[in-house]
């Protein structure tokens, strides 16, 4: 660029009326040259660009609003203005064409609505959950800290309290680190007693998420100490609901778990932590005596300003290494593992969501192919119109532009319909959303916002261009003379157009097959998951969870009284107590030591502790493998006994008999040995598709840890429905303690169904998309076959006049359809083999190359293709030779 | 007759016409804008200057001529403006109307 001629000034000319262009560009240049020595080249150049842009906009605006006051831009400029006028003309003409062919328009719009609607809806979900930041300031700095145990194949497990203290004390890369645990507490006093969901958090948690209480203050480090820990921060919603938004609540006391708690603050309404907990309680940790064996804490931290994720990881690795040298017994086999909080929250659903996005993408491509075929058919019927335009001197570019404008217009109308369909389907989606998925970030806010609408608009325009470009070029590239010569004869299209159609149908068949194979694999996986036995008889089992805050002896007395009463309830065949219960509570793991084994073993010895009453196994009908179950004689005090599951027996006693061996979970100087008296079958605990962890069942009267008696579940075997059993259980609880609320009462079958609900939702969505794809493909094939038959009417007439039978004509036409189907299905099979590996993590009990699925899907698609082709083909056999030859 | 022929000028149109009048032979967009800034302290946008000049010319208040190019303008011509008699009439009429309205208000508004 020479000094004399900044390039921008030449560009400028495109936007300014001809006779003003010279002097204005000259003025700008003059000022630019004057400014350069004073302000420097950079600032002068910025000034010039800025003013050129402003002036260009001013003149465009001026022209648009007072068109007459400026001389028209010379057409040879082909500037923005003439394009705009042309566009307006194209749009008006296009709209007229669409109105004139309502059937075509309607069919195309339905295909577009399905394609764009599905994409808009799924995009808004994927965007809301995966691509939006968490609702915290600088949320990318919020890190989830877990424990990695390579030998147990666990990447990001919960953290032992003592490890948490060491991380918090010794790290240099986090501005705050805090632990969180879910809490369930009872509030009494005042209105009805109520069970609340909340979280226990250590001091500093609010610094990690970067949110201050709207009223009052945060917790202090002191309040982690027992005795001072009875402080609570209320959620905004709970504060409004229970206390009528009374600000004087801060500083007063409320009764939680029968104890007075000081309300020190109220959170802002925006506060979110995997749904909105009603109360935030201080985590009473008794700092110092934390265990390294029991892993229960979720730990989060906020990176210091300027510290990178890598630096934080290196920092924690150093601490982890030191701890594993210092405490080899507990820490030798695990290390800190960091991920962003967002990734750790959405990691599980990410593959499923991306698969859904892929599925709707395929649906949209199929819809595009369909509309492209419709446009091709229409272009054929408009051949003469286009030929006349060409003959009158219309440029080919001008024609392509006209045709593309029509298809984009069509796509935009389809896009509007699709967005409306998305609004409706998102409402349905929110209603169908399993509660288990409500903890996902952003899921509650999923809906249409500007961002989603912009994407929908972009997708619509792109769609219009994609499906319009082939027909537009095909139509405008026709040979003039031949078309005009075919006086009045119905359109023929020619070999090239036929080939284009065949390619589009083959593409649709291939894309459908990929989608159908994916849906088939997911459906079979889902069946396989449902076929998994939970390890107990889940039918006719009802669970009621009751949280009790008093210490072990009193709590046990309450629970045992309750159990007595529940047993006597009508319709209850058997009842028992247990915690944590399958499909109800998560529960943690604990390390343990085995009597007589060297403690230097690096293989971590860990099990999930369970506290159960004597008839727990018989009530749930969990099979006893060997030894005995608990009896009422397994009461307080020695001898302590324990029952392990088969998984524990297999893992820790692979070569010998565990019966009679003793284990200890206390790790105290004086071990509290428990004798293994029985081995029971494996029970699925958190999901049918998960492997069962080693478990250790302990009798109710011998709780190994203090807190375990505070949350017990009553399990009943009853033929009565939940709706009749629940009130009787509640009144039984009320008769013992008026202030004691009862949590949910649910049928075990429902709980198991809820555990597979996300998979069920995912499978159904993919199946819905696959069915849409199948219908669109069938419609496409039907359309193409109808076209081909119409095109060959004369030929068929000749054949029949020469003696061809109906069945030979049928064969002739079906062979053509069959050829396309075979090619499409073959390409689809190759595509499916390549693409279904992205499904691998979602499959269960089936490989991505399961022959059953591939064969049945191929047969299904083949049959549908045959049916779609059969109707037009049978029409071919009814061709009247005389009529065909006369036309 | 004269009253209906001279349509009322917008305030900014008057400003531009007065600036051109003050500049005499040297009135083109850059100097007009500078003159307005000097006299009134208003930093008006270039776009509105060009649009107003063009509009005034279309309405017959101004005539313009292209002058020779100079190197500092990158070889581009300069468009000088001068008032047509009609513009002078309109300015006088505007002034007369304003002065009439102002009369007797000095004590209130100074």
For A821-834, the pLDDT digits (tens) are: 999 999 999 999 99
Mean pLDDT, residues B25-29 taken together? 91
What percent of chain A is modeled with pLDDT above 70?
A: 90
Q: What does each C-alpha distance from A378 to A495, B15, B108 come to in angstroms?
A: 16, 60, 76
Q: Which residue bears the tokens 């949350």?
A: A711
Position of tokens 């390409």?
A827
**Distance (Å) of CA A466 to CA A365, A484, A633, A778, A797:** 9, 29, 77, 21, 37
Report which secondary-structure segment, H or E, holds A371.
helix A350-381
Whether A448 and A427 have beta carbons less than 8 Å apart is answered as no
Residue with tokens 């669409």: A98
Q: CB contact, 8 Å: A58 with chain B?
A: yes
Average pLDDT over residues A168-185: 89
Does A33 touch chain B if contact means CB atoms closer than 8 Å?
Answer: yes
Our CA angle for B79, B85, B91, nearest 5°, is 95
Taking only the tens place, the pLDDT of each residue in A641-699 is 999 999 999 988 988 899 999 998 877 778 889 999 999 999 998 889 888 989 999 99
pLDDT, tens digit, for every residue of A572-582? 999 999 988 99
CA–CA min distance A51, chain B (Å): 8
Whether residue A5 is predicted with pLDDT greater than 70 in this model: the reply is no
Alpha carbons A679 and A626: distance in angstroms, whole number: 5
**Which of A26, A31, A70 is closest, CB to CB, to B76?**
A26
- Average pLDDT on A134-138 reads 91
Q: What are the b/e assignments for A741-775, b being 16+ CB within 10 Å?
A: bbbebbbbbebbeebbbbbbbbbebbbebbebbbb
A556-563: long-range pairs with CB below 8 Å, 24+: A556/A700, A556/A701, A556/A709, A558/A736, A558/A737, A558/A740, A559/A700, A559/A709, A559/A712, A560/A613, A560/A700, A561/A736, A562/A714, A562/A732, A562/A733, A562/A736, A563/A613, A563/A714
Backbone angles phi, psi at A675, to 5 degrees: -90, 135
A502, two tokens: 């065949």
Residue A173 pLDDT level (bands cut at 50, 70, 90):
very high
Size of interface A-B (CB pairs under 8 A): 73
- For residues A308-330, average pLDDT: 90
Pick from A20, A29, A31: CB nearest B50 = A20
Residue A33 to residue B78, Cβ atoms within 8 A: no
Q: How far apart are CA B22 and CA B82, in angstroms?
A: 10
The pLDDT of residue A143:
95
| pLDDT higher than threshold 60 for residue A712 | yes
The reply to whether A24 touches chain B by the CB within 8 Å rule is yes
Residue in A with minimal Cα distance to B58: A69
pLDDT at A150 over 80: no
pLDDT at residue A705, rounded to an integer:
76
Contacts of B73 in chain A (CB under 8 A): 26-27, 29-30, 33
State the Cα–Cα distance between residues A350 and A365, nearest whole angstrom: 23
pLDDT of residue A146: 92
Q: How confident is the model at residue A487 (pLDDT cuts 50, 70, 90)?
A: very low
- Here the tokens at position A177 are 């680190």
Residue A228 and residue A222 in contact, taking contact as beta carbons nearer than 8 Å: yes
Say yes or no to pLDDT of A477 above 70: no
Which carries the bigger pLDDT value, residue A490 or residue A215?
A215
Q: How confident is the model at residue A11 (pLDDT cuts 50, 70, 90)?
A: low
Q: Decide if A62 touches B, using CB distance below 8 A.
A: yes
Chain B: which residues have CB within 8 Å of chain A? 28-30, 45-48, 50-51, 54-55, 58, 66, 69-79
pLDDT band at A482 (very low <50, low <70, confident <90, very high): low
Contact flag B29-A62 (C-beta cutoff 8 Å): no
Report the residue count for chain B. Answer: 110
Q: Tokens 């007693």 identify what position? A: A193
Mean pLDDT over A69-92 rounds to 53
- The mean pLDDT value for A301-322 works out to 93
How far is the alpha carbon of B83 from chain A, nearest alpha carbon, in Å? Answer: 18
Q: Do B51 and A4 touch (CB under 8 A)?
A: no
- Nearest-CB residue to A70 (from B47, B54, B75): B54
Name the helix (H) or strand (E) containing A92.
Answer: helix A80-100
Q: Is A22 on the interface with B (CB under 8 A)?
A: yes
- Written as six digits, the tokens of A719 are 């033929």
Residues A833-844, mean pLDDT to the nearest whole number: 89
Asked whether the predicted pLDDT for residue A611 surpasses 60, the reply is yes
What pLDDT score was predicted for residue A621?
Answer: 95
Determine what percent of chain A is predicted with pLDDT higher than 90.
36
State if pTM tops 0.90: no
Phi-psi region of A287 (alpha: psi -120 to 50; beta: other; left: phi over 0): beta
Q: Taking residues A548-566, what's their average pLDDT?
A: 85
Write down the mean pLDDT value for chain A.
84
| Residue A101 clears pLDDT 90, i.e. is over it | no
**Banded model confidence at residue B62, pLDDT cuts 50, 70, 90:** very high
């Amino acid at each position: 660029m020479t000094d004399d001629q900044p390039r921008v000034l030449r560009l400028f000319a495109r936007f300014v009326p001809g006779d003003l262009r010279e002097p204005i560009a000259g003025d700008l240049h003059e000022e630019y040259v004057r400014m350069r020595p004073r302000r420097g080249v950079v600032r002068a150049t910025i000034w010039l660009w800025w003013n050129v842009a402003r002036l260009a906009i001013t003149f465009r605006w001026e022209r648009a609003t007072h068109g007459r006051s400026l001389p028209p831009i010379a057409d040879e400029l082909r500037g923005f203005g003439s394009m705009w006028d042309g566009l307006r003309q194209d749009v008006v003409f296009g709209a007229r064409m669409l109105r004139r062919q309502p059937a075509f328009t309607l069919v195309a719009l339905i295909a577009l609505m399905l394609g764009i609607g599905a994409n808009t809806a799924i995009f808004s979900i994927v965007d809301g959950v995966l691509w939006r930041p968490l609702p915290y300031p600088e949320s990318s700095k919020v890190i989830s800290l877990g424990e990695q145990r390579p030998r147990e194949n666990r990447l990001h497990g919960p953290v032992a309290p003592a490890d948490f203290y060491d991380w918090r004390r010794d790290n240099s890369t986090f501005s705050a680190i805090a632990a969180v645990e879910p809490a369930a507490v009872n509030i009494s006093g005042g209105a009805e007693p109520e069970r609340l969901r909340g979280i226990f958090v250590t001091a500093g948690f609010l610094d990690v998420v970067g949110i201050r209480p709207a009223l009052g203050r945060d917790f202090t480090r002191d309040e982690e100490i027992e005795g001072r820990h009875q402080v609570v921060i209320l959620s905004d919603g709970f504060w409004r609901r229970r206390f009528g938004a009374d600000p004087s609540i801060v500083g007063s006391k409320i009764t939680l778990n029968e104890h007075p708690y000081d309300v020190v603050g109220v959170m802002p309404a925006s506060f979110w932590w995997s749904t909105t907990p009603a109360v935030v309680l201080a985590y009473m940790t008794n700092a110092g005596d934390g265990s390294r064996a029991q892993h229960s804490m979720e730990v989060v931290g906020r990176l210091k300003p300027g510290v990178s994720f890598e630096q934080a990881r290196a920092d924690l690795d150093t601490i982890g290494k030191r701890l594993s040298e210092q405490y080899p017994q507990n820490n030798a086999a695990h290390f800190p593992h960091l991920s962003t909080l967002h990734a750790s929250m959405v990691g599980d659903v990410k593959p499923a969501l991306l698969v859904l996005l892929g599925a709707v993408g395929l649906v949209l491509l199929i819809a595009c192919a369909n509309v492209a075929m419709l446009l091709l058919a229409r272009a054929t019927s408009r051949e003469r119109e286009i030929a006349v335009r060409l003959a009158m001197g219309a440029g080919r570019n001008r024609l392509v532009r006209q045709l593309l404008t029509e298809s984009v217009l069509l796509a935009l109308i389809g896009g509007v319909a699709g967005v409306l369909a998305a609004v409706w389907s998102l409402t349905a989606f929110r209603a169908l959303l399993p509660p288990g998925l409500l903890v996902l970030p952003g899921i509650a806010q999923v809906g249409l916002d500007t961002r989603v609408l912009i994407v929908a608009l972009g997708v619509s325009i792109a769609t219009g261009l994609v499906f319009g470009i082939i027909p537009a070029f095909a139509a405008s590239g026709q040979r003039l003379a031949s078309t005009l010569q075919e006086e009045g004869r119905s359109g023929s299209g020619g070999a090239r157009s036929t080939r284009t159609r065949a390619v589009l149908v083959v593409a649709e068949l291939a894309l459908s097959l990929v989608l159908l194979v994916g849906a088939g694999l997911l459906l079979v996986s889902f069946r396989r998951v449902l076929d998994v036995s939970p390890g107990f008889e889940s039918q006719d089992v009802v669970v009621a969870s009751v949280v009790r805050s008093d210490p072990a002896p009193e709590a046990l007395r309450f629970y045992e009284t309750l159990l007595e009463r529940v047993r006597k309830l009508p319709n209850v065949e058997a009842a028992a107590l247990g915690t944590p219960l399958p499909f109800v509570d998560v529960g943690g793991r604990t390390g343990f030591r085995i009597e007589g084994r060297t403690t230097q073993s690096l293989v971590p010895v860990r099990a999930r502790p369970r506290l159960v009453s004597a008839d727990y196994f018989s009530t749930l009908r969990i099979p006893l493998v060997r030894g005995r179950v608990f009896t009422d004689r397994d009461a307080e005090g020695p001898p302590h006994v324990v029952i392990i599951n088969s998984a524990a027996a297999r893992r820790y006693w692979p070569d010998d008999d565990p019966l009679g061996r003793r284990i200890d979970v206390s790790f105290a100087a004086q071990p509290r040995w428990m004798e293994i008296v029985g081995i029971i079958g494996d029970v699925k605990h958190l999901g049918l598709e998960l492997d069962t962890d080693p478990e250790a069942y302990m009798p109710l009267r011998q709780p190994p840890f203090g807190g375990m008696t505070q949350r017990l579940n009553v399990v009943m075997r009853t033929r009565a429905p939940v709706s009749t059993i629940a009130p009787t259980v509640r009144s039984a609880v009320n008769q013992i303690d008026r202030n004691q609320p009862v949590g949910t009462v649910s049928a075990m079958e429902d709980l198991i169904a809820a555990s597979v609900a996300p998979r069920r939702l995912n499978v159904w969505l993919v199946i819905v998309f696959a069915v849409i794809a199948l219908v669109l493909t069938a419609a496409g094939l039907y359309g193409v076959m109808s076209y081909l038959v119409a095109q060959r009417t004369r030929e068929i007439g000749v054949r029949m006049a020469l003696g061809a039978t109906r069945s030979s004509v049928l064969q002739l036409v079906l062979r053509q359809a069959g050829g396309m189907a075979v090619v499409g299905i073959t390409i689809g099979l190759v595509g499916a083999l390549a693409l279904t590996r992205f499904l691998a993590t979602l499959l269960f009990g089936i490989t991505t190359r399961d022959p059953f699925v591939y064969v049945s899907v191929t047969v299904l698609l083949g049959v549908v293709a045959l049916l779609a082709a059969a109707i037009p083909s049978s029409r071919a056999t009814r061709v009247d030779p005389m009529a065909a030859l006369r036309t | 007759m004269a009253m209906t022929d001279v349509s009322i000028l917008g305030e900014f149109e008057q400003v531009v016409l007065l600036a051109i009048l003050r500049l005499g032979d040297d009135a083109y967009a850059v100097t007009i804008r500078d003159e307005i800034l000097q006299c009134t302290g208003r930093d008006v946008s270039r776009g509105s200057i060009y649009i107003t000049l063009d509009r005034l010319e279309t309405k017959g208040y101004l005539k313009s001529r292209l002058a020779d190019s100079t190197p500092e303008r990158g070889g581009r011509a300069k468009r000088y403006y001068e008032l047509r008699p009609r513009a002078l009439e309109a300015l006088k009429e505007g002034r007369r109307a304003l002065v009439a309205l102002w009369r007797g208000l000095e004590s209130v508004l100074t």
